[in-house]
Amino acid sequence: MTDAGLVAKKLVRIEVCLQDLRLVDPASIERNLVHERFVEHTLQIAIQAAVDVASHIVADDRLGDAASNHELFDLLARHGWIPVDQVAVMHRLVGFRNIIVHEYEDIDVRIVRTVLEGHTGDLQRFVDAVRAHLAP
């Protein structure tokens, strides 16, 4: 059984990151290295928290064996935790996180801006879906 308290704490972490990201004008990251790095790191934290949530649920509810972080989201969708149409978005966000973590020098600021402007809502939808599933 999923530890609802632990998952709830991680979901709040994602939401705090999303609130923090609202402090930055997306246009500023292309000319301000501090803003760019703040956004990159905050997105990394939020996406990692989503991966952690997925991992906890998959393990605690014994939803299957995931060979990758991507597969965690496949299993969540298969078992009704998140909508099926959200899986591809979560795959892309995990890929973005991997670029930040593993290829730091090759980060394209335009992609960072695209994620900031177009995909923070996807992280909130993930939070909302998981929270709805946890509700009694």
pLDDT digits over 77-135, tens only? 999 999 999 999 999 999 999 999 887 667 889 999 999 999 999 999 999 999 999 87
Tell me the one-letter amino acid at 45. Answer: I
- The architecture in CATH of the region 4-134 reads Up-down Bundle (1.20)
Are 125 and 85 in contact by the 8 Å Cβ rule? The answer is no
Q: Exposure of 8 by Cβ count < 10 A (0-12 exposed, 13-18 middle, 19+ buried)?
A: middle
Q: Residue 61 has which token pair?
A: 């509810």
DSSP 3-state assignment of 107?
coil
Q: What confidence score (pLDDT) does residue 34 get?
A: 95
pLDDT digits over 23-82, tens only? 999 999 999 999 999 999 999 999 999 999 999 999 998 999 989 999 999 999 999 999
What global pTM score does this model have? 0.94
Q: What confidence score (pLDDT) does residue 97 get?
A: 94
